Structure 1
Amino acid sequence: MNSLKEITVTEVCPRDGFQSIPEIIPAEEKAAYINRMIECGFKQIEVTSFVHPKAVPQLKDASEVLQLVNRKPGVKLRALIPNLRGLDRAIDAGIDKVKLMLSATDSHSRHNANATTFEAIKGFEPLVQRAADSPVHVGGSISVAFGCPYEGDVPVERHIEITKRYEQLGITDISLADTTGMANPVKLKRIVEVLKETFPHFRFSLHLHNTRGMAFANAVAGYEAGIVDFDSSAAGLGGCPYAPNASGNIATEDLVHGFEEMGINTGINLDRVLEVAKLLQQRFPVQSDSFILKAGKCSDLHIAPSGQVKIGD
């Protein structure tokens, strides 16, 4: 059991949430949401992705959005990058950390990156070399880590081999993503435990989608296996454009509320997160999905009824 009573939550709605919205959101509006999120207490926010505009049109304004963000000391801004060009744009925009895009399976990788998994990771070499000459920190990721919509379960041996390749690049910060919500607590815990035992010097995090309603149970299983870093998205917005039926991320308010109720500190102001989530729910009602937005917090008490109303004789 994890002895730490504290976790770190990274807000990913500005990237993973907004990329799934078909309507183009103005850069000023995106920045306004990010500025509100900065005041919620997050130590890290994934603000955008420096992908080709044709790949994800919603994020074509990445550099413009960064110019409008009110930076705050102690809050790192992270972005996803697919290639060297994306890295250069991220560096120019003043990003603190970039996350590389990699799929656990060849089928998903070909669809996402037009290359096999190990061809894609080989292509990271010039990115790592370029980043070494900059202040930007490089982290890795493994998409469809707990189940691929094309190949099914991903063997733990596959994870070990991928992580070894990351280690050869000097990357020891890895995000394990349940991109299509195929994880369950037993599967997730087994994979995480093996990876943490095999690579004790690595820092693994979890990026969970609530496609089948398992995300918080999976988060708890990950925490019990030693994970203390989690991604989430306000109002539950999100979904991978390269995976079929990939619905939203676990809602930030659900994740924060759940862990805080268990006595595990997140450092996040839940009421402020709820203010942002309610704005997002009003703006994007079809895409939002959050238990706390529907039911409220456990601490939201109600006036007790004075008595039962008798119906009939």
Structure 2
Amino acid sequence: MREPQVVPLDGLPARVTVYEVGPRDGLQNEKAIVPVEVKAEFVRRLVASGLTAVETTSFVHPTWVPQLADAEALLAALPAYDGVRMPVLVPNERGLVRALDAGVREIAVFGSATETFARRNLNRTVAEQYEMFAPVVAAYRERDLPVRAYVSMCFGDPWEGDVPVPQVVEVCARMMALGATELSLGDTIGVANPGHTRALLTALAEAGVDLGAVSVHFHDTYGQALANTLEALRCGVTSVDSSAGGLGGCPYAESATGNLATEDLVWMLHGLGIETGVDLPALVATSVWMAEQLGRPSPSRTVAALAPRG
């Protein structure tokens, strides 16, 4: 299998953490329910490919996301991997109880930078979302366990249009002030560009947010996800969210297409001489296998280029 030619660029990190969201964000929008045995095998294959951060599922109410109703069963089917982060999305205090009962060691909460999406996704205002998240974050921080804070609609909103940078910075700062240890910036509908990416990251740094604790989460609606990621790396970001095979979207934002494909990200990073710890051929094989389970080809260009021809 072909590997990228390594030609480094100055000003980039030596290593990047690839934060895999396929099992949660990738599968939550599937029309058909994926069997828990398939999900467990998917996670096992992802870890075997060298990924060290794999977000497995969500404790959201099954009425809202029935695809993830098997969260406890999935976690019970997975071993405890040394050195592998396996966060679970926890939306509220009911989800918190489930997470604690399941022995989850790392959680994520999912906030919004805009009022409309907060209402549609959380049934809260932006101000009210902090009250909902505060006890969830506190419960894990009191146990000295990490908490990731997602902020969605950081670059644009399908109902409100452009989202001002200061508005996003204010929400991100509030989420971190709750005690979150990591911040993920969501380009939920894929409208960001490199200039906008730099402007937001610069503003966050000026507001006192440590970019070493920031991850970027780009969707590829307009084909800009890799360009935006490269600009984020130039700004000092060293963690990037992606989904194996480019799976995923957002069930509450109809214009949101798939996430940045992990294979496309790893191909670029390896070509730049950046270490990831990921075995690209093994990852491609995993996405080919998952595409077979879903009954459709992977949208990842790298998977299409490197997958064995039948």
Q: TM-score, normalised by structure 1?
A: 0.90
Task: Describe how 1:46-195 pairs up with structure 2 within 5 A.
Answer: 46-134=55-143, 136-195=145-204
Identity among equivalent positions (%) equals 40
Number of residue pairs the alignment of both structures matches: 298
Q: Distance in 2 between matches of 1:3 and 1:291?
A: 24
Task: Give CA deviations for 1:251-296 in whole Å, capped at 9, x if unaligned.
Answer: 1110001111111111111111011011122222547311112223
After superposition, the Cα gap between the structure-2 partners of 1:49 and 1:154, relative to the gap in structure 1 and judged at 3 Å, is same
Q: CA deviation at 1:168?
A: 2.9
Tell me if structure 1 keeps the 8 A contact 2:288–2:298.
Answer: no
Q: Distance in 2 between matches of 1:275 and 1:236?
A: 14
Q: Distance in 1 between matches of 2:248 and 2:172?
A: 26
Q: State the match for 2:13 in structure 1.
A: 4
Q: Distance in 1 between matches of 2:26 and 2:112?
A: 19
Q: 2:30 aligns with which of 16, 21, 32?
A: 21
Q: Distance in 2 between matches of 1:156 and 1:148?
A: 13
Q: 2:303 aligns with which of 280, 285, 293?
A: 293
Q: Distance in 1 between matches of 2:265 and 2:27?
A: 19
Q: Distance in 1 between matches of 2:238 and 2:188?
A: 19
Secondary structure (helix, strand or coil) at the match of 2:55 reads: strand
Tell me if structure 2 keeps the 8 A contact 1:44–1:77.
Answer: yes
Task: Give CA deviations for 1:113-170 in whole Å, capped at 9, x if unaligned.
Answer: 1111121112212212322343542121110111111111211111221133224312
**Higher Rg of the two aligned structures:** 1
Task: Give CA deviations for 1:44-86 in whole Å, capped at 9, x if unaligned.
Answer: 1000011001000000000110011122100010111110111
Q: State the match for 2:246 in structure 1.
A: 236
Secondary structure (helix, strand or coil) at the match of 1:139 reads: strand
Q: State the match for 2:218 in structure 1.
A: 208
Q: CA deviation at 1:41?
A: 1.1
Q: State the match for 1:271 in structure 2.
A: 281
After superposition, the Cα gap between the structure-2 partners of 1:246 and 1:201, relative to the gap in structure 1 and judged at 3 Å, is closer
Q: State the match for 2:234 in structure 1.
A: 224
Tell me if structure 2 keeps the 8 A contact 1:192–1:225.
Answer: yes
Q: CA deviation at 1:212?
A: 1.4
Secondary structure (helix, strand or coil) at the match of 2:140 reads: helix
Does 2:240 align with 1:254? no
Tell me if structure 2 keeps the 8 A contact 1:237–1:287.
Answer: no
Q: Distance in 1 between matches of 2:208 and 2:172?
A: 8
Q: State the match for 2:205 in structure 1.
A: 196
Unaligned runs of 5+ in 2: 1-9
Which stretch of structure 1 is more off in the superposition, 277-286 or 56-65?
A: 277-286
Tell me if structure 2 keeps the 8 A contact 1:172–1:201.
Answer: no
Q: Aligned Cα RMSD in Å? A: 1.7
Q: Distance in 2 between matches of 1:152 and 1:103?
A: 14
Which structure has the higher relative contact order (CA within 8 Å, separation 6+)?
2
